[in-house]
Amino acid sequence: MKVLVIGSGGREHAICWKLAQSPSVEKVMCLPGNPGISLEEKCECLNERIDYKTKTDRNRVVEIALNDGIDLTIVGPEEPLVHGIVDDFRQKGLRIIGPEKAAARLEGSKDYAKTFMAKYGVRTSFSQTVNHYEEACKSIEQLSQFPIVIKADGLAAGKGVYICSSKGEAKEAVDELMNKGKFGESGKRVLIEEFLEGEEVSVLALTDSKVIVPLLSSKDHKRLLEGDKGPNTGGMGVVAPNPVMTDEIYNDFVSAILNPTLKGIKASGFDYRGIVFFGLMVKDKRCYLLEYNVRMGDPETEAILPLMASDLAELFLHTEQSKLDETRLKWHPGFCVNLILASEGYPNAYKKGKVITGCDRSIVQDESKVFFAGVGLNDKSELINTGGRVLSVSSTGDDLESDLV
Ligand code: AMP
Ligand code: GLY
């Protein structure tokens, strides 16, 4: 089988690496991928830039899949999904993993997701959606408890969430989103949300709209520095499974969040054959859903896939063929820790084009694995940094402590 993976980050590297291990996979193509992914066995990157907002560009991806005889496509990032790439593929009879465009709104609009949660009884924090700046300020004026969370309704590359500790800060955030247009259309509508103090847990699950199968839980560490300090980032490292996820908490997650979500997917009549990512907050032993994503997490994927003993290609095929009820997931025992190496200055401005040494096939040692993200080649074909998060290392072990030595 020939598979196509859309995306270019560490998550896509991990997906390509895991798919290439499947005996049924003869070739993995990655669009556009990165030079680190090209080092993997069976993997080839297609260096084309696609604007997923435009139908012509999405059709170009359909054309690539048809011309290259791709049997199955996996979409890494949210953008192609929100713009309807799954619908484009399925209309041509091509196999693809992901939700149809209507269901991708669960990530594409936080207001839509909140309405869905309320309708199907998924436990979440209180929130109010506002459409005008004046309306937002009026609501903020009435608040007495802080901090409060202000969120852009639409996609904002993980940066549209503000934790505000005063009325002034909240109004500033709303001004940035609604008046100054920091995230364009995505911030024209805003959610004012109750702040929940607790422990975060990420759970990725596969669904074929009939059943939903959770993968191992994980914990993303969003702050830049050691000891949960510094600014928020796209994620600096992950631990899997998440030690917070005891049996008791897991059972609460299943009854308060997982099952009602599946009920909602069924009742909405969605063609959802893909991944549901639950961003949870655990407070007083109860799970609250902060957000849905409709794709795998980055860097969660880099910590979860090294622990997977099942054949990922087979799992995705079963998802696409609505045969998940026949699937039993297998995991290696122990833990995985994924640690990100970022460009100096990230998440603010940083210099690109610095040469990275010591990275070739031979760096795959023992229980550790390097996944490349923001990397490219210079005109001497040397590996250079091109993004904020450059690469990450995933290590597995029997317990968390031995990983951290
Ligand atoms: P989201 O994109 O909605 O997952 O939010 C990004 C991050 O903001 C989360 O991972 C949390 O760290 C934080 N966050 C979002 N919503 C809340 C909330 N209601 N209470 C506390 N923290 C939140
Ligand atoms: N690590 C969080 C995300 O992928 O959205």
Q: What is the pTM of this model?
A: 0.96
Task: With cut-offs at 50, 70 and 90, classify the pLDDT of residue 400.
Answer: confident
Q: What is the CATH number of domain 2-101?
A: 3.40.50.20
Atom of ligand 2 nearest to the CA of 297: 4
Helix (H), strand (E) at residue 213: strand 212-225
Q: How far is CA 104 from CA 98, 206, 396, in A?
A: 8, 14, 33
pLDDT tens string 109-129? 999 999 999 999 999 999 999
Cα 193 from Cα 343, distance rounded (Å): 33
- Give the three-class secondary structure for 211: coil
The phi-psi region of residue 146 (left if phi > 0; otherwise alpha if psi is between -120 and 50; otherwise beta) is: beta
Parallel, antiparallel, or unpaired for β 335-342 and 368-372?
unpaired
In total, the chain counts a number of residues equal to 405
pLDDT tens string 333-346? 999 999 999 999 99
Range 309-325 burial, b when 16+ CB lie within 10 A, else e: ebbbbbbbbbbbeeebe
pLDDT tens string 42-100? 999 999 999 999 999 999 999 999 999 999 999 999 999 999 999 999 999 999 999 99
Q: Which residues line ligand 1 (CB under 6 A)?
A: 125, 149, 161, 193-196, 200, 222, 279, 281, 290-291
User: Among 78, 107, 127, 149, which residue has the most ligand 1 atoms within 8 Å of its CB, making it the best to mutate?
Assistant: 149
Q: Where are the beta strands (DSSP E) in 115-198?
A: 127-130, 148-152, 161-164, 190-194
Atom of ligand 1 nearest to the CA of 198: 21
- Give the three-class secondary structure for 102: helix
* Nearest protein Cα to ligand 2, atom 4: 297
Domain positions in the chain are 2-101, 126-194
Measured from the alpha carbon of residue 297, the closest ligand is 2
Q: Which residues line ligand 2 (CB under 6 A)?
A: 158, 220, 235, 293, 297-298, 300
CATH 3.30.1490.20 fits 126-194, yes or no: yes
* Nearest protein Cα to ligand 2, atom 3: 297
What would the two tokens of residue 181 be?
A: 């247009």
